[in-house]
Amino acid sequence: MSIDWAKAEERPDKSLKVDGKALLDLRAKINDLEKQLADTKNTLSEKEQTLESTTQELEQTKSTLQETRERLQNEIEDLKTQFETSTAEIENLNTELSKTKEMYENTIEDYKSSLEEKESTIESLNSEISNLNNKLDEYNTQVGELEGKLNQLSELTQSSEEQIANIKSEKESLQAELETANETISSRDTELSKLNSEIEALNNSISSQETEKTNLNNKVEELTAMVAEKDEQLEQLQQQINQMEEQIGEKTSQLEEVEAELSEYKPPEIGSGGFAADERTTCPMCGAVGHDIKVVEDKSKVLSYVGHIPMYAKKNVCKKCGYEF
């Protein structure tokens, strides 16, 4: 026969006949529940250890990510500083180049103007030389005519020779000026070539600075992408921790349910003076207590199965009014 808990409550000081099979079944149920409780506790302990290990790994990862982030931020700041410095240097170089270019252009314009003036002077000198040559031819003609009249015009001949000497001297002076003008033009051409070379070198320097600027921008973009990737990994780890915490909460709830079920199958504890006052069940309808309340199995609520044996929930039934609670 099974254990009649209601009868035991009515007459706690009397012996109660119990079928050994019922006791064995009850012991088997309690052992199974205790085993389930122990397994659940072990699983919970393993989950807690896993959570602790994961938390430590997360802290280490956070620390590493923080250090990496700080290092990357420092590198980005350094790159920004270098970029700003390079930009300022490029701007200064551009300003200096503009000034130098403007100065050289002005100098070239001056040289061109001077060259045009020299060319104009040379043309005028050539014209004068041509005129002088014409005059020389005329003078030579006159000399020929005067030589025919040498005997008659000796005084005039002497004067003509002096004029010829003066003309030759003037011609030599004009030729010297022409050579000087040609040398000046050659030196101006050399200076112009040097200025063009300097302008080309400055253009090459600007091109290299722009290339370096592009490389710095690419490095900044790569570092920004790395920081975003690290933040995404950190968020994934946080999600895993949240999932583990939810699993631990579920296991804790299951453990509490198992402990509650186990407590229902334990026989009521008997004190020195019978049942304690706070453990006596009272009918909420008529107020009956003690032996007027019996505990029966609630066949409509199956808590679990031990093997093929169902474990039902318990309910109280008032013997006086028949109210179930």
pLDDT at position 317, please? 93
pLDDT at position 151, please? 64
Other residues' Cβ atoms within 10 Å of the Cβ of residue 276: 12
Q: Which of 289, 180, 235 is nearest to 61 (CA)?
A: 235
Longest Cα–Cα distance in the chain: 192
Distance CA 224, CA 265 (A): 63
pLDDT at position 152, please? 66
pLDDT at position 275, please? 43
197-233: b or e for each residue (b if 16 or more CB lie within 10 Å)?
eebeebeeeeeebeeeeeebeeeeeebeeeeeebeee
pLDDT at position 160, please? 57
Distance CA 132, CA 146 (A): 19
Question: What's phi and psi for 295, nearest 5 deg?
Answer: -105, 125
pLDDT tens digits, the chain, 325 residues: what are they? 466 667 777 777 777 776 777 777 778 888 888 888 888 888 888 888 888 888 888 888 888 888 888 888 888 888 888 888 888 888 888 888 888 878 878 888 887 787 788 778 888 777 877 777 787 777 677 767 766 666 665 565 566 567 777 777 777 777 787 777 778 777 777 777 777 777 777 777 777 777 777 777 777 677 777 767 776 776 777 777 677 767 777 776 776 676 666 665 555 444 434 444 445 788 999 988 888 899 998 888 888 887 788 888 899 999 999 999 8
pLDDT at position 315, please? 92
Other residues' Cβ atoms within 10 Å of the Cβ of residue 283: 20
